[in-house]
């Protein structure tokens, strides 16, 4: 996968941080403005990473996501897919530019 940062999409390296640690991961993310609630919603997938998968399985879903030197933003881990990837969702400012 090549890295992309194209407006409402990002694919590449990121850092996921929780109370128990921080992990370098790869993500694919996309976002959109939702006119119903007036907020920017972003979501995507963290490629398979056993430590991040373990967070979900133990109920620790509140994390931050940081890309490059940008500020970390709050996010929530959702479900683990059959391949071990984890869905991540956020509202308002996305972690990419």
Global model pTM greater than 0.75: yes
Mapping DSSP onto H, E and C, the string for the chain reads CCCEEECCEEEEEEEEEECCEEEEEEEEEEEEEECCCCEEEEEEEECCCHHHHHHHHCCCCEEEEECCCCCCEEEEEEEECCCCCEEEEEECCCCCC
Give the chain's domains with CATH numbers: 4-91 (2.40.10)
Q: Model confidence over 48-93: pLDDT tens digits?
A: 999 999 999 999 999 999 999 999 999 999 999 999 999 999 999 9
């Amino acid at each position: 996968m090549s890295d992309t940062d194209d407006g409402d999409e990002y694919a590449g390296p990121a850092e996921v941080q929780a109370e128990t640690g921080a992990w370098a991961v790869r993500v694919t993310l996309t976002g959109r403005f939702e006119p119903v609630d007036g907020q920017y919603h972003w979501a995507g997938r963290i490629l398979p990473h056993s430590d991040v998968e373990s967070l979900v399985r133990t109920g620790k879903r509140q994390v931050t996501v940081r890309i490059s030197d940008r500020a970390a933003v709050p996010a929530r881990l959702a479900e683990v897919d059959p391949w071990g990837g984890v869905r991540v969702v956020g509202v308002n400012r996305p972690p990419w530019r």
